[in-house]
Structure 1
Amino acid sequence: MQAVILAAGKGTRLRPLTDEKPKVMVEVDGKPLIEDVFDNLIDIGVDEFVVVVGYKKQKIMERYDDEYRGVPITYAHQREQLGLAHALLQAEPHIDDDFVLMLGDNVFRANLGDVVNRMQEDRADAAFLVEEVPIEEASRYGVCDTNGYGEIVELVEKPDDPPSNLVMTGFYSFTPAIFHACHLVQPSDRGEYELPDAVDLLIQSGRTIDAIRMDGWRVDVGYPEDRDRVEKRLNEGEDAEAAAAEAGDS
């Protein structure tokens, strides 16, 4: 199974942490964000990485070269940061079949494998990990509206009036049909080629997209305080595991 990792961003909101390195190389709990992504993907069976790089890409390429923990890495280059759909298209020449897509700045402790399993079992055209947020926060995200079968029927990027409180998280499974949709996307009001717009084209063409509700947690590391928040959660998890192990030994 191949995985595309989007790692081209500058991380301007994380400055000064990103003055000398790309966003995905910011360390959380002692290791770069992208290593946490790699480890999560290896855990669900990924055996090839396609990493889309851009800003200060040499920092990534020099550190990992052509493999991580024995898993080969291919680099695709996004020379201008023109949105997630544009970034994904840079990986198209390297993708052979169905694949997973993960944003390189998210830390997950969640049921990622369920997304892959659902897509393989149902032969859906895509499956997304989604989470519920307070309705007043939903307008900050890509918001999903689903039918009674758990299929996404509408996806709206940062709407003023959200149709639900179910939002995209940053982990997806796609067939290669997503590339055709990305080619058709037009620039948004902010001049970027948006991934939610490509997904909406899939929906309009009758493709099936399953929503998998997240069991666990994730943090999108966009600001310095997010790094502090995720480190706290990771340390709490380690303390809980240690306590459980100690209770089992007693």
Structure 2
Amino acid sequence: MEAVILAGGFGSRLSHIVSDVPKPMAPVAGHPFLKYILDDLIAKGISRVVMAVGYKKESILKYFGYTYNGCEVVYSNEDRPLLTGGAMKKALIKCREQNVFVINGDTFYDINLLAMAVEHVKNSADLTIATKEMRNFERYGTVITENDRIIQFLEKKPKEYGMINGGIYLVKKELLSGIIGDEFSFETEIMEKKVSELKIYAFKCNGYFVDIGVPEDYEKARMNFAEVGDE
């Protein structure tokens, strides 16, 4: 299996805590956060990764090189920020498989990748999104489904309960090839605007989830991974 990791984030909301590396390389319990993501992907069968890099990309290349724990690592370089959609579009060109996982480099989500791939193929999906049940939150938008097909994306607002986008996608390699332009938001231009014409499915999971995009959740990740290391 093959994956793209979106690892070019500035981490502006963490800048007063972590300023010398891209957000996915923020230190967590003695290691870059990205290491935990890549170790998990490799353990679950990913054998080739395309890193979409930009801001301070040298730190990622120096740490992981072109082969990491038996996994081939390829780099898709952004000379300027291309947003999530542009970064994905450029990275997918370097992919070899028909269906490719796309992982947000600031999010760790423990899911069964093989089971997700099976569902994706069974549904003949254009895009499958790993979703997460969440309670009492306001940071995330939610998805509405009918028989696991996503029919609507709702904006971020305080909610007592909802299914959120967990930051792991399985996409057809050619999904973005017809999109004009190289700088666009995947969430806005593809998921939200094309939800009625694309076959977008939710893969519901309940594994451990953490997004280090804000200081309080970054601190949560540091504590949780430190506890795992102490076991």
Counterpart code for 1:77? N
Contact 2:109–2:166 under 8 Å retained in 1: no
Q: Deviations over 1:43-102 (max 9, x none)?
A: 221111000000011111122221111111110012222421111112132023210000
Gaps of 5+ in 1: 243-250
* 1:132 to partner: Cα distance: 2.0
Question: Alpha carbons of 1:217 and 1:185: their partners in 2 closer, same or farther (altered >3 Å)?
Answer: farther
Structure 1 partner of 2:129: 128
Structure 1 partner of 2:70: 70
* 1:236 to partner: Cα distance: 4.7
Contact 1:5–1:50 under 8 Å retained in 2: yes
Contact 2:104–2:167 under 8 Å retained in 1: yes
Structure 2 partner of 1:175: 172
Structure 1 partner of 2:148: 150
Using CA pairs below 8 Å that are at least 6 residues apart, which structure has the higher relative contact order? Answer: 2
TM-score (ref. length: structure 1): 0.81
Question: Alpha carbons of 1:177 and 1:196: their partners in 2 closer, same or farther (altered >3 Å)?
Answer: farther
Question: Alpha carbons of 1:159 and 1:34: their partners in 2 closer, same or farther (altered >3 Å)?
Answer: closer
CA distance in 1, matches of 2:174, 2:145: 21
How many residues are matched? 229
Counterpart code for 2:218? R
Counterpart code for 2:153? L
CA distance in 2, matches of 1:159, 1:71: 36
Match of 1:210 among 165, 186, 201: 201
Contact 1:101–1:173 under 8 Å retained in 2: yes
Q: Identity, % of aligned pairs? A: 25
Question: Alpha carbons of 1:93 and 1:32: their partners in 2 closer, same or farther (altered >3 Å)?
Answer: same
CA distance in 2, matches of 1:102, 1:212: 14
Greater share of residues in strand: 2
Question: Does residue 118 in structure 1 map to residue 119 in structure 2?
Answer: yes
Q: Which has the larger radius of gyration?
A: 1
CA distance in 2, matches of 1:179, 1:203: 14
Q: Deviations over 1:162-201 (max 9, x none)?
A: 8x821101111111242146x25898xxxx5243431235
